[in-house]
Structure 1
Amino acid sequence: MKFRINASVSVGPDDRVTSTYRVDLFKNWNFDRGKKAAIPYTGAPIDLGQFLDLHEHGYAQEYDMLGTSSLHDF
């Protein structure tokens, strides 16, 4: 997963410091032959090649996940 934080800091006339920030996320969900992933809670490895076979036959889909948070004040 990749993420980026965009922030700005400003000082007001009364010397009060304010900050705003936003978080952007990116994750590419794909199935690579020969790559393994851990099953949640067990940690047992699973070969992602099995899912690649499903993708190649039209039963699964690779996709990108993108997201951006709203603007937050701090």
Structure 2
Amino acid sequence: MSATFLGNSTAIQELFKGISEQFTAMFGQKAFLHWYTGEVMDEMEFTEAESNMNDLVSENQQYQDATAEEEGEFEEEAEEE
């Protein structure tokens, strides 16, 4: 017997935040960058990746905030009835 669960959760954003902070710290010091630029990667690709990660975290935060607001509205409606 086997089972599969697919869930949509904003909890992953904490992991993304941690990775983003570590990436920013290392990229700011240009740590290990020479390995990648030597293999024909452009420094701009790293900047774009950082921006994409920050956008992802921001988008997840918006979904989390919207969900919390909706839950508050449902609780208020239940109290009124």
TM-score normalised by L of structure 2: 0.23
Query: Which of 1 and 2 has higher RCO (CA within 8 Å, sep 6+)?
Result: 2
Higher fraction of strand? 1
Higher relative helix content: 2
